Copies of this chain bind each other. A is one copy, B any other.
Amino acid sequence: MDQLLDILKRNRLSVTDGRKKILEMFLKTPGALAHADIEKYTDAAFDRVTVYRTLQTFVDKGIIHNIPTSDNAILYALCKEECADGHHHDNHVHFICDTCGQTTCLDEVTIPEVKLPKGFRPQFSEMVVKGICAACQAKQ
């Protein structure tokens, strides 16, 4: 069975055109996507509201995770196998390229633990590194 359908079925989601198209986009794209990217790619074939709801559904199901940023953009990227239904395990570093603007999941780079001041109990960490990505570096 198609990977796309497999993911939707596994998460007990109805298979609809919008979900297929949006999920397809995530499977094809190496980096992260913002709401705006999806609207552009799908050529506004789906209502904005549908895109919002689809992204939220995918996050809830553990199909995609979001990436913290300092500006006001919410970015999303595909989760690996281990995430499921409300339990995310995306403890990898994210890289944002200053040159091309692309955000990459560095799945093989684990977020290091840090020693916190007395009394703080950590549960989950996020780390974003900015700089120049491998692709842009190679073009120099």
In the complex where A70-B66, A70-B74, A114-B93 touch, is A125 in contact with B125 (Cβ < 8 A)?
Answer: no
A100 within 8 A of B: no
Q: Is the CB–CB distance between B109 and A112 below 8 Å?
A: no
A128 within 8 A of B: yes
CB neighbours of A115 from chain B (8 A): 109
| Central interface residue in A121, A123, A135, A138, by most chain B CB within 10 Å | A121
Q: Is the CB–CB distance between A128 and B131 below 8 Å?
A: no
CB<8 Å pairs between A and B, sample of 16: A68-B68, A68-B70, A71-B74, A95-B120, A108-B117, A109-B117, A114-B127, A116-B129, A120-B133, A120-B137, A121-B131, A123-B131, A123-B132, A125-B127, A125-B130, A126-B129
Can you add 12 more A-B contacts, CB < 8 Å, to A67-B70, A109-B114, A122-B130?
A: A68-B69, A69-B69, A71-B74, A106-B116, A106-B117, A114-B127, A119-B135, A119-B137, A120-B129, A123-B130, A126-B130, A127-B128
Q: Which residues of A contact B (CB under 8 A)?
A: 66-72, 74, 93, 95, 98, 106, 108-109, 111-112, 114-135, 137-138
